[in-house]
Amino acid sequence: MFGYLFILLFLFVPYYWVAGGGTVALQKLNHLHLKGFFMLTRRLIPRTTYVIDPKVRELRSSIIICNHISYLDPILLVSLFPQQTTIVKNTFFRVPIFGWFLRRAGYVPSSPAEMLGEAMIKNLENVKAHLAAGGNFFVFPEGTRSRDGNLSTFNRGVFSIARYCGVSLDLVFITGTDQLFRPGTFSFNTRKDNVITLELIASIHPDYQARNFSISSVLDQARQVFEQKIADVKGDARLKTEG
């Protein structure tokens, strides 16, 4: 965290003012910074390879729903998209400098106070404008990392946001990040052969104007897609072990 604060203070903030400010400028700078980070990890950790679905890289103006297995997941997504935002735990917004960066870069606090009244409308309108400008909004509906690869309960928030913005949902499945940076640890596992993958497994196009539309049905549909993918991955792993 202190290293990241140093980068923010001495690189991001000066660039922000020189570039004339703006949310997009900070998002692109953060993207380039984390893109460089993963380029470095590829060189320093050759046992880990990356397989990124070209369809994921091409996503624009999209609300992206992902499974969540490692702290690496959000920064990997930022490294793929020049314009991106997401929902961040409210505690991070209270960190000096870092909180300033999060707000200026358009990240949305998870605080209940931000989801009511005028604050909620402001956040929703900001996300809507961000999508209209070609940016992506990625969310982990479980709200926390899985320790065993299985899904936790999905929160309804992102599905409500998608309805407000009137956009489709793209489902991206992540594997392997938990093997490189395991939950509960603060070190990289550099000795294990590992493949990190990001795959676009489905796109959901709800009819928000339909009389029988419900957020719950869209949530259930998304969850079923992820559960089927997890079952397929575990089945393939079991076959390799038995073979």
In sequence order, the β-bridge partners of residue 172 are 66, 200
CA distance 46 to 167: 38
DSSP-derived secondary structure letter, 215: H
Please say if the pLDDT value at position 106 is more than 60: yes
Output the pLDDT for position 114. Answer: 55
* pTM for the predicted model, two decimal places: 0.91
Output the pLDDT for position 149. Answer: 86
Question: Residue 37 CA to chain centroid, in angstroms?
Answer: 16
pLDDT in tens, 145-158: 998 889 999 999 99
Lowest average pLDDT, out of 18-27, 69-78, 120-129, goes to 18-27
Grouping H, G, I as helix, E, B as strand and the rest as coil, residue 210 is: coil
**136 phi, psi to nearest 5 deg:** -110, 145
Q: How confident is the model at residue 90 (pLDDT cuts 50, 70, 90)?
A: confident
* Cβ-contact 88, 103 below 8 angstroms: no
Bridge pairing between strands 84-88 and 136-139: parallel
pLDDT in tens, 21-30: 678 888 988 8
How confident is the prediction for the chain on average, in pLDDT? 89
pLDDT in tens, 180-220: 998 778 889 999 999 999 999 999 999 999 999 999 999 99
- The domain in which residue 211 lies consists of 2-242
The count of domains in the chain is 1
DSSP-derived secondary structure letter, 188: -
What is the rounded average pLDDT of the residues 11-22?
Answer: 61
> 216 in the Ramachandran plot: left (φ > 0), alpha (ψ -120 to 50) or beta?
alpha
Output the pLDDT for position 1. Answer: 46
Please say if the pLDDT value at position 132 is more than 90: yes
